[in-house]
């Protein structure tokens, strides 16, 4: 049940955040946030872009895309998205990650994007991206607070509470 819940959490939490982000104006989406945010992640857009690029990297690694030209196409497409397209891409990648987790594939993956390549179990690798996304969703919530916008809780417990009450 844990694996299924983690997959569901990725989709649930992403939807919660994106529902608020869809309401932002372009000005708010691109407003420099100042301290504690630093370049390059000092706007809501930059934080969303970082999440998308991280999830893209997950699948570049899993799909064993090693051609620099192919990788650049994937990353360049994210950089040139409109704000709405970026949020849509994030949703698609969350769904792709959740589906990959639910498949519960065995095996190892070579992590080649760090200074020293190494192998790790595939499900642990996917969990890294759930965890990484959770961290950056927290930054997005802080950014929304700095912009005096609606903030929401996306704790794992909140997903269970919401499901229990509905």
Q: What is the pLDDT of residues 113-149, one digit of tens each?
A: 778 989 999 999 999 999 999 999 999 999 999 999 9
Q: Mind listing the pLDDT tens digit for each residue in 7-43? A: 999 999 999 999 999 999 999 999 998 877 777 778 9
* pLDDT (tens digit per residue) in 63-94: 988 888 998 999 999 999 999 999 999 999 99
SS (H, E, C) the chain: CHHHHHHHHHHHHHHHHHHHHCCCCHHHHCCCCCCCCCCCCCCHHHHHHHHHHHHHHHHHHHCCCCCHHHHHHHHHHHHCCCHHHHHHHHHHHHHHHHHHHHHCCCCEEEECCCCCCEEEEHHHHHHHHHHHHHHHHHHHHHHHHHCCCCCCCCCHHHHHHHHHHC
**Domains of the chain by range and CATH?**
2-165 (1.20.120.450)
């Amino acid at each position: 049940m844990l694996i299924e819940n983690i997959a569901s959490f990725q989709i649930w939490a992403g939807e919660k955040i994106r529902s608020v982000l869809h309401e932002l104006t372009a000005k708010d989406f691109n407003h420099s946030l100042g301290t504690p945010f630093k370049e390059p992640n000092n706007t809501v857009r930059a934080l969303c872009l970082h999440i998308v690029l991280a999830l893209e990297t997950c699948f570049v690694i899993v799909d064993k895309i090693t051609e620099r030209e192919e990788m650049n196409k994937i990353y360049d497409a994210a950089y040139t998205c409109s704000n709405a397209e970026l949020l849509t891409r994030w949703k698609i990648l969350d769904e792709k990650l959740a589906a990959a987790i639910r498949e519960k594939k065995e095996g190892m993956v070579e992590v080649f994007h760090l200074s020293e390549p190494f192998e790790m179990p595939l499900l642990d690798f996917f969990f890294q991206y759930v965890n990484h996304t959770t961290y950056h969703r927290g930054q997005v919530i802080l950014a929304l607070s700095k912009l005096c916008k609606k903030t929401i809780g996306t704790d794992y417990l909140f997903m269970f509470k919401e499901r229990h009450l509905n």
